[in-house]
Structure 1
Amino acid sequence: MKQITSRDNALYKELKQLAASASARKKAGKTILDGVHLCQAFLQHRAAPEICVVSDHCIEHAEVAEILARCEKQGAQSISLPENLYQALSQVENGIGVLFVIATPQLEMPLTLSVNAVVLDNLQDPGNLGSILRSAAGAGITQVYCSVGSASAWSPKVLRAGMGAHFLLEIFEGVNLHALLSDATIPILATSSHTKTTIYQSDLNRPVAWLFGHEGQGVDPELMAMANETVTIPQTAEIESLNVAASAAICFFEQVRQQIVAKE
């Protein structure tokens, strides 16, 4: 394990840029997994990171020691930092000091939209995006398509909110949603307050593409017009609308419920 003690170290400066700058992460094609859970999930579902970084205060921690052993066994570079240098990289308060540097996955898009999927139009909030990814993975959905202008799916904030869901999904970013939906071979469903059909009345025992939009403006009208069906989630009149991540979770797991019932 390499020990770095100087702020002027070239590798440390690179790590600090990756931790602080979205443009640096994009240019390098890398991102940061911050914390024990994300690092464990990555090792479980993917492979070794490019770099494993630990605080020297946490090297003897049982979970960190196990992560280090697995990284070293797989040939990953391991680095230890003094606690003050490590904290300048981490955004996790009172966490256990371990993070990974990984290459941001670059996937080739499928030719058509043909399996259960989530389509996100200009979603802005990292917490919402991470929560939607987590719910999608929990519901067995495998593909997520994000439009240009959406929050970066592989940013540290979205990764923390996703809690490891990223490693169970195929995530496509910067997607032309008009082209994607026009070629879809499965129904496109969107939530709307202007329909009487509830999510519980819709036939969800089939692959569908769930379409969700911007937290304030919703789905672009041109994209909404491409939906085969709009559904509403019943709620009290006092609340104008649900948070997009909550709405998505309700939709995903109603689909799961209907699939379970169909098998009984």
Structure 2
Amino acid sequence: MKPITSRDNPLYKEIKLLATSSQARRKARRTLLDGIHLCDVYLRQVGHPVLAIVNDAASAHPEVAALVAECERRRVQAISLPDSLYKAISQVENGIGILFVVDTPEPSDPGALAESAVLLDNLQDPGNMGSILRSAAAAGVRHVLCGPGTVFAWSPKVLRAGMGAHFLLNIVEGIDLETVVSAARVPVLATSSHAAKTVYDVDLSRPVAWMFGHEGQGVSENLLRKASVTVGIPHIGKIESLNVAASVAVCLFEQVRQTMASPDGKT
């Protein structure tokens, strides 16, 4: 494991740029996985990273040492950083210091949707995005399609909130959702607080595409008009609406419930 002690080191500068700039991450098609859990999931489910980075203070931690040993077995370069340099690139407070630099995967073209999917219109919050990805992966939904303006799915904050869900999904960014909706071969359901039908009134035992929007404004009017049906989530408390990530979970797991109850249902 190679030690780096200077903030002027070219490799360190490159890593810090990835840590601090969404534009740099998009351009390089690389991002950072922060923490033992994400790094372990990546090694088990995806493959080897581009680079492993360890905080000097964590190098003797058993789980960190095991991850580094596996990286070295796979001939992955590993570097160690003093605490002052490591803290400048890690966004996890009081975490156990290990990071991976990884390539962001090339998404596959979903074509005309014929299976269940989640469509995100101008979603802004990284925590919401990560939670939605976790729900989609847990519900067996494979495609997550993100319209322009939606938060970058591969940012470190979204990755932490996703807890490894990214590696089970086909995430397509910057896609024209109007074109996707027009070409879809499955019903497209949009959530709206003004819908006459609820999520419990529609047949979800077969594949559908779910459309969710901006945290404050919801799905855009143009997309709402293109949806096959709009649905709401009933609630009895004196609150105007649910958080979008909670809404996604309710909808997807109502679909899971109906699918499991149907002998020929599939997502």
The two structures have a TM-score, normalised by structure 1, of: 0.97
The 8 Å contact of residues 192 and 219 in structure 2, kept in 1 or not, is answered as: no
* CA-to-aligned-CA distance 1:32-80 (integer Å, 9 cap, x gap): 1111111111112101000000011111111111111221122211111
User: Do structure 1's residue 76 and structure 2's residue 76 form an aligned pair?
Assistant: yes
Q: Tell me, in whole angstroms, the C-alpha distance in 2 between the residues paired with 1:21 and 1:195.
A: 39
User: Which residue of structure 1 lines up, in the alignment, with residue 4 of structure 2?
Assistant: 4
Describe the SS at the equivalent of 1:171.
strand
User: Which residue of structure 2 lines up, in the alignment, with residue 182 of structure 1?
Assistant: 182
Q: Tell me, in whole angstroms, the C-alpha distance in 1 between the residues paired with 2:222 and 2:81.
A: 51
User: Which residue of structure 1 lines up, in the alignment, with residue 240 of structure 2?
Assistant: 240
Q: Tell me, in whole angstroms, the C-alpha distance in 2 between the residues paired with 1:108 and 1:164.
A: 19
Tell me the number of residue pairs that the alignment of Structure 1 and Structure 2 aligns. Answer: 264
* CA-to-aligned-CA distance 1:159-203 (integer Å, 9 cap, x gap): 111111000100000001111111100010111222332211211
Listed as ranges, the gaps of 5+ residues in structure 1 are none
User: Which residue of structure 2 lines up, in the alignment, with residue 16 of structure 1?
Assistant: 16
User: Do structure 1's residue 220 and structure 2's residue 217 form an aligned pair?
Assistant: no
* Matched AA of 1:107: P
Write the mapping of 1:106-121 to structure 2, written as runs, cut at 5 A.
106-121=106-121
Listed as ranges, the gaps of 5+ residues in structure 2 are none
Describe the SS at the equivalent of 1:150.
coil
Q: Tell me, in whole angstroms, the C-alpha distance in 1 between the residues paired with 2:63 and 2:97.
A: 10
User: Which residue of structure 2 lines up, in the alignment, with residue 32 of structure 1?
Assistant: 32
Q: Tell me, in whole angstroms, the C-alpha distance in 2 between the residues paired with 1:197 and 1:7.
A: 57
Q: Tell me, in whole angstroms, the C-alpha distance in 1 between the residues paired with 2:2 and 2:245.
A: 41
User: Do structure 1's residue 152 and structure 2's residue 136 form an aligned pair?
Assistant: no
* CA-to-aligned-CA distance 1:18-43 (integer Å, 9 cap, x gap): 11111121222211111111111111
* CA-to-aligned-CA distance 1:191-238 (integer Å, 9 cap, x gap): 122233221121111011000001111111111111111111110251
Aligned-residue RMSD, C-alpha:
1.2
Q: Tell me, in whole angstroms, the C-alpha distance in 2 between the residues paired with 1:149 and 1:106.
A: 19
* Deviates further, 234-243 or 152-161: 234-243
User: Which residue of structure 1 lines up, in the alignment, with residue 94 of structure 2?
Assistant: 94
Q: Tell me, in whole angstroms, the C-alpha distance in 1 between the residues paired with 2:263 and 2:75.
A: 45
User: Which residue of structure 2 lines up, in the alignment, with residue 105 of structure 1?
Assistant: 105
Q: Tell me, in whole angstroms, the C-alpha distance in 1 between the residues paired with 2:89 and 2:195.
A: 47
Q: Work out the percentage of aligned pairs sharing the same amino acid.
A: 59
User: Do structure 1's residue 171 and structure 2's residue 171 form an aligned pair?
Assistant: yes
* Matched AA of 1:70: E
User: Which residue of structure 2 lines up, in the alignment, with residue 61 of structure 1?
Assistant: 61
Describe the SS at the equivalent of 2:27.
helix
* Matched AA of 1:200: Y
The 8 Å contact of residues 137 and 168 in structure 2, kept in 1 or not, is answered as: yes
* Matched AA of 1:65: A
Q: Tell me, in whole angstroms, the C-alpha distance in 2 between the residues paired with 1:179 and 1:196.
A: 26
User: Which residue of structure 2 lines up, in the alignment, with residue 52 of structure 1?
Assistant: 52
The 8 Å contact of residues 30 and 103 in structure 2, kept in 1 or not, is answered as: yes
User: Which residue of structure 2 lines up, in the alignment, with residue 199 of structure 1?
Assistant: 199
Describe the SS at the equivalent of 1:136.
helix
Describe the SS at the equivalent of 1:259.
helix
* Matched AA of 1:211: M
Q: Tell me, in whole angstroms, the C-alpha distance in 2 between the residues paired with 1:116 and 1:202.
A: 15
